[in-house]
């Protein structure tokens, strides 16, 4: 079988698998932002599988929109990682505008910049942009991984992002290396198609091995508390009581840079067990949310206390363990539905 025929077969298999994944995600999780973005990412990846080509070649008018959508898919990938890793993430207008700008930039590259004799510059600019968004997605994965309390989601999401980022990064580097040299790129195109097919197959296999609710879930319906056996329940309850004493008596949540590893060390248990305890017994999916709820409860008590009516809100926030006013205001309003100042006013008028 020739390289061209092998490449065509790999592309066809990849597109078919991506369309099946997109249909599955849409059928099961279309009501969830991460699920909708996963569907869009799968469809955009299918467009990439159809259009991906290493080296410079003339682009037909019908082909350019597909290439542009394929390029814009890297923004969808970044947004997908945001939604997957952060249950509180919401899609904003500027996110959509960023995607539209990348798509438009890619289309202009295909239709006017590259045909004007600047193919290498055009391809390099687009792929540097791709690498930037891959870097943003990887940073998101790294910074939020440690506070995720859903163990299976922690493993699978890192695999999905690492695999996708690996392919995207290698593809972008190949594009930059072979820009303007279509004659030497046949083997690179076949390698590129093989890498994409392998990664898509691995992601599909990983998705079949995990409960989709661990990855794509509505926060309000996120956690089903697990009831263990009697002996295990008694041991877990002792640990929960010890953890709550750290929170209530020592107010450990006030300390700077509190980590789950620090709490596990204080409780003399492995970190994975504490993650499972907070997730399955207390119903939290994120460690920072667990800490912030304790901080907000302390702040609510202080704001409702008439003797602290003159204490500035920022002082109350810092005393409770927040590092600045902005995150405190956002977390407080997300929990109570009102700002700290409004909460204080409501409590004062009710007294």
First-last CA distance in the chain: 83
Amino acid 156: pLDDT: 74
Q: Which domains does the chain have, with CATH numbers?
A: 3-219 (1.20.1070), 230-350 (1.10.10.60)
Phi, psi of 227 (to 5 degrees): -100, 110
Amino acid 36: pLDDT: 93
Lowest mean pLDDT among 90-99, 132-141, 161-170: 161-170
DSSP assignment of 122-180 equals HHHHHHHHHHHHHHHHHHHHHHHHTTB--HHHHHHHHHHHHHHHHHHHHHHHHHHHHTT
Separation between Cα atoms, residue 54 and residue 192, nearest integer Å: 8
Phi, psi of 268 (to 5 degrees): 60, 45
Compute CA 58 distance to the chain's CA centroid, rounded to the nearest angstrom. Answer: 36
pTM of the model: 0.83
CB 325 within 8 A of CB 313: yes
Of 54, 47, 58, 42, the C-alpha closest to 7 is 54
Of 305, 306, 140, 240, the C-alpha closest to 320 is 305
Of 15, 3, 21, 38, the C-alpha closest to 205 is 21
State the average pLDDT over residues 35-61. 80
| Average per-residue pLDDT for the chain | 84
Six token digits for residue 106: 């890619």
Amino acid 119: pLDDT: 66
């Amino acid at each position: 079988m020739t390289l061209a025929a092998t490449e065509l077969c790999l592309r066809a298999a990849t597109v078919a698998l991506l369309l099946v994944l997109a249909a599955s995600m849409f059928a099961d999780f279309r009501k969830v932002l991460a699920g909708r973005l996963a569907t869009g990412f799968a469809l955009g990846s299918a467009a990439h599988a159809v259009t991906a080509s290493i080296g410079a070649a003339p682009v037909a008018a019908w082909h350019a929109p597909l290439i542009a959508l394929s390029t814009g898919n890297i923004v969808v990938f970044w947004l997908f990682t945001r939604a997957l890793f952060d249950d509180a993430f919401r899609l904003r207008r500027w996110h959509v505008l960023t995607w539209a700008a990348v798509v438009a930039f890619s289309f202009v590259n295909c239709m006017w910049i590259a045909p004007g004799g600047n193919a290498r510059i055009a391809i390099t600019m687009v792929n540097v942009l791709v690498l930037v968004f891959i870097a943003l997605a990887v940073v998101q994965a790294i910074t939020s991984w440690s506070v995720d309390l859903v163990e299976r989601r922690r493993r699978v999401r890192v695999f999905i992002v690492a695999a996708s980022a690996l392919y995207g990064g290698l593809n972008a580097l190949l594009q930059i290396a072979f820009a303007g040299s279509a004659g030497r790129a046949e083997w690179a195109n076949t390698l590129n198609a093989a890498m994409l097919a392998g990664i898509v197959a691995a992601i599909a296999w990983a998705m079949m091995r995990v409960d989709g609710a661990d990855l794509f879930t509505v926060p309000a319906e996120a956690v089903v508390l697990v009831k263990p056996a009697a002996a295990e329940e008694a041991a877990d309850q002792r640990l929960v009581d010890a953890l709550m004493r750290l929170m209530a008596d020592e107010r450990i949540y006030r300390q700077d840079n509190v980590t789950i590893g620090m709490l596990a060390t204080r409780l003399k248990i492995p970190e994975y067990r504490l993650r499972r305890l907070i997730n399955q017994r207390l119903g939290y999916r994120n460690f920072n949310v667990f800490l912030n709820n304790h901080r907000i409860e302390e702040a609510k008590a202080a704001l409702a206390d008439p003797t602290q009516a003159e204490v500035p809100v920022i002082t109350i926030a810092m005393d409770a363990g927040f590092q600045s006013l902005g995150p405190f205001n956002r977390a407080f309003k997300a929990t109570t539905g009102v700002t700290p100042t409004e909460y204080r006013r409501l409590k004062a008028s009710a007294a």
